[in-house]
Amino acid sequence: MKLLVLNGPNLNLLGEREPGIYGTGSMEDCLKTLNEAFPTDEIVYFQSNCEGALIDRLQQARREGIEGVALNAGAYTHTSIALHDCIRSLPFPVVEVHISNVHARESFRHVSMIAAACCGVVCGFGLDSYRLALEGLKLRAGGGQKA
């Protein structure tokens, strides 16, 4: 499968940013792990701190054969109706991803503007959340439960 891992604001600082919450591993480490875990899949990565750039990247994914997206929209998760609308327009599934357990944190992180547009949510497993999200997309593509 051709899968997109898409990271939003401040996730370019993984490994340096609040390591007590997000750990010390970098996204480069995570992508290496993903490529080892899914050797027959093509994993495309993009990160932006800008909401519009994330939307542009998702719209571009429609034209390049992407079959599923693991999206960590960072703080835009909690605010972006524009991302919600964009996800709803896509012909492939999107999994909402969080490194931390957002439900064990501040109440403003308990709300997701995008979850209802996504096929599922993975949160709280550190960088393994990305791997679990890709597992979910592959399971779904292989005829798993679609509800």
The residue from 100, 122, 127, 131 that contacts ligand DQA (CB under 6 A) is 100
Single out the residue of 49, 109, 125, 138 in contact with ligand DQA (rule: CB under 6 A).
109
**Residue 48 is a binding residue for ligand DQA (CB under 6 A):** no
Question: Which of the residues 22, 76, 84, 130 is marked catalytic?
Answer: 22
Beta strands in the chain, from DSSP E residues, in sequence order: 2-7, 42-47, 68-72, 94-98, 120-123
Site string for ligand DQA, 50-79 (x = CB under 6 A): ----------------------x-xx-x--
What are 71's two structure tokens? 């999206």
Closest C-alpha to 130, from 9, 39, 32: 32
Instruction: Output Rg (C-alpha) for the chain, integer angstroms.
Output: 14
> Which active-site residues does the annotation give?
22, 98
